[in-house]
Amino acid sequence: MLAPPAFAHTPATGLGPLADGAARLVLEPADLLLSIALVLLALQQHPPAVRRVIVLLPALWCLGAVLGQALPRELLLAPLITATFVVVALLVALQIRLPPWLFTGLAAATSLGFGVVNGSLLSGHAGSLSVVLGEAVALAVFAVVLAMGLEGLRFRWRAIALRVAGSWIAASGLLMLGWQLRHPQ
Amino acid sequence: MVRPSALHREAVLLLGAAALATIALLPAPVLAHADTSHGGGFVAGFLHPITGLDHVVAMVAVGLWGAVLAPPALWVLPVAFPLVMAFGGLLGMLGVPIPGVEIGIAVSGLVMGLMVLFELRPPLWLAALIVASFAVFHGHAHGAELPAGSNALLFSLAFVIATGLLHLAGILLGETRRWPGGRSFVRGAGGGIALAGLFFLERALA
């Protein structure tokens, strides 16, 4: 009859920590928006970029989250997190082609960074590793489904849809950034 | 295919303008249980841009004008507007003052409505500049109104999606130009938006 432990940064689905992690992706959508922006950017680059993102994003996010849990305190970097996905989304909206090494580096650094920050927020909670795993699996599934779905679109419409989506994500991020600067943590 | 006569076209034009102006000038319904704080969450964010008719007509006008201008303006304008609007929102939330915001919003409806009515086609860079300039006013007004609340990112995301859907509504209305009488209808819609903008301008200046 004991109440389950409450996680400040995790929604409680009642289905266990793995499901809580997956739900976290949707209910605290900074990671979701980064993953969308990275997949969209990958689709605008050279063909292997999509495969790289699908592998790098969940793997490095998970690694970062595990590393972040070892940090002594929470990393409260919400404006930096938001600014990061705004930049990635702006690259999509402006349809900027990056050299392959730069794109791979950007995807790796942002995935790892987001993972570290998330891991630090979850550190100290019992079952947090399961939450991390749940979110990493959800990220992987989401990235694959999104990439597959968009690959099938006709190229001209896809190019427009990607840019529009990029502008929407960047705009959401800019509003969010203003909100965070107005109401600091 | 039956070609509409000049008289028919004018009638459609006038009817379109009158219908839009009437809708725009109707009083907004009072919802006793509505979340007036718009404090947070997806639903509140989604409702925020569509509850202000001065914003709605301008955002629909962006899509309509994009359709009149044809690709690439058809999608460049709806890409530019939310980005610059969000920048204006950022300024509003940070308390950076912009003079004449309400006047700017009203003028945006008036100008873009006239652009659609007269089917004006400036170069793409100029059209994007006009739309982006007005977007700052719309964003600033929304940004200054947003209170603190939970789920800020969901709020922002829903807000932008609603804005984008209003552009899409304008584009779809604009695409009726391909049909017989559609061109007159779109021009009429532009006239209605211009009239609504004039009304909002009179109110802003009063």
A20-24, A166-170, B104-108, B165-169, range with the lowest pLDDT:
A20-24
* pLDDT reported for residue A126: 66
* pLDDT reported for residue A12: 67
Interface with chain A: mutation pick from B79, B150, B171, highest number of A CBs within 10 Å: B79
* pLDDT reported for residue B24: 47
* Cross-chain residue pair A172–B146, CB shorter than 8 Å: no
Question: Is pLDDT of B193 > 50?
Answer: yes
Answer yes or no: are the C-beta atoms of A21 and A138 closer than 8 Å.
yes
Query: Helices B124-145 & B42-50, crossing angle to 10 degrees?
Result: 120
- Residues B65-84: what's their mean pLDDT? 86
Residue with the bigger pLDDT between B101 and A25: it is B101
Which residues from A are below 8 Å from B78, CB to CB?
A: 164, 167
Give pLDDT tens digits for B10-29: 554 554 555 545 444 444 44
Q: How far is CA A182 from CA A49, B29, B89, B94, B152, in A?
A: 37, 31, 12, 6, 12
Residues 104-123 of A with CB under 8 A from B: none
Average pLDDT, chain B: 79
Nearest to B79 among A28, A167, A179 (CB): A167
Please report, for chain A, the start and end positions of each structural domain, with discontinuous segments joined by +: 17-182
Question: Is pLDDT of A90 > 70?
Answer: yes
Using a pLDDT cut of 90, give the percent of chain A over it: 23
- Residues A33-42: what's their mean pLDDT? 91
Query: What number of other Cβ atoms are within 10 A of residue B28's Cβ?
Result: 8
Q: Say yes or no: B162 contacts chain A, CB-CB below 8 A.
A: no
Question: Is pLDDT of B48 > 90?
Answer: no
* pLDDT reported for residue B39: 43
* Cross-chain residue pair B83–A170, CB shorter than 8 Å: yes
* pLDDT reported for residue A63: 92
* Cross-chain residue pair A173–B154, CB shorter than 8 Å: no
DSSP state at residue B70: -
- Residues A141-147: what's their mean pLDDT? 90
Query: What number of other Cβ atoms are within 10 A of residue B81's Cβ?
Result: 28
Confidence at A92, pLDDT banded by 50, 70, 90:
very high
Nearest to A30 among B79, B148, B153 (CB): B153
Q: How far is CA B196 from CA A124, B9, B19, B108, B176, in A?
A: 57, 21, 11, 11, 21
A68-77, A88-97, A134-143, range with the lowest pLDDT:
A68-77
Q: Say yes or no: B129 contacts chain A, CB-CB below 8 A.
A: no
Task: Say what the ipTM of the complex is.
Answer: 0.73
Q: Say yes or no: A150 contacts chain B, CB-CB below 8 A.
A: no
Which residues from A are below 8 Å from B161, CB to CB?
A: 168
